[in-house]
Structures are given as C-alpha cells and as structure tokens.
Homo-oligomer: A and B are copies of this chain.
Amino acid sequence: MPVVAQDADTLEILMLAWMNEEAWRLCLSTGIAHYYSRSRQKLWRKGESSGNEQKIAAIRLDCDSDAIVLLVHQKGGAACHTGHRTCFYREFSDGKMRVCAPKIFDPAHVYGRK
C-alpha cells in the first residue's frame, strides 16, 4: 500500500513509500515509521542507516482504504537519501527541472562512501 509521509509541522510532503502488514503493525506498536522496500523486498525502518527517523504524529486513511498518510516529525530535518529536505526536491516546468528544496546534509558524511 502506498504511504505518503508528510511533515506534521510544515505539511511538506517528504516522501512516498510502501507498507506491508508487518510495517503497519510496527508503525502502530513503536510510533516510528516503518516501510516495505519493494526494490529490496524487505522491511525497512526509516533512518536505520542515516539516523533520520520519523516519529509518527498521526495516521490517516483514504476513502478506499488503499492509501495512507503519515504525519511525522522528521529527525535531522531531511527525509531524502540525497540529503534534501524532501524526496520531492525537483520541480518540473517548461520542460525543465529545477531544485525546489534545500539540501540539509551531505550523503557521503551520513552513509559513508561505499
């Protein structure tokens, strides 16, 4: 099921991720955002590598009960693995992309060079 993480204070959309039943249960029991990685086919606690966890403030369901919004407090101020505040840091207009969100950290420092 698709999940939108939204900053509980600024209402910025931080990322779109996915949840399976295990991730949903862990969100409820821990209050910390857990997702399911479709590419890696595994459960994933947001921030497990970077430390940038998401504390859940509220959980909302849509009319068809097939999409979720998590209102979260984003630790470290950045949700994206690129270091940008939000994964949606690129805006498309007139056939061009421009960066529309600040870069908060340098991924090389946070994840190390691999």
A positions within 8 Å CB-CB of B:
2, 4, 6, 10-13, 15-16, 58-64, 67, 69, 80-82, 84, 87-93, 97, 100
CB distance from A61 to the nearest CB of B (A): 5
Taking a contact as CB atoms under 8 Å apart, the answer to whether A91 and B15 are in contact is: no
Contact of A11 among B11, B15, B100 (CB under 8 A): B11
- In the complex, which residue of chain B has the Cβ closest to the Cβ of A79? B63
User: CB within 8 A of A4: which of B4, B60, B84, B90?
Assistant: B4
So how many copies of this chain end up in the complex? 2
The 8 closest A-B pairs by CB, nearest first: A11-B11, A16-B67, A60-B88, A62-B87, A59-B92, A63-B87, A69-B88, A61-B90
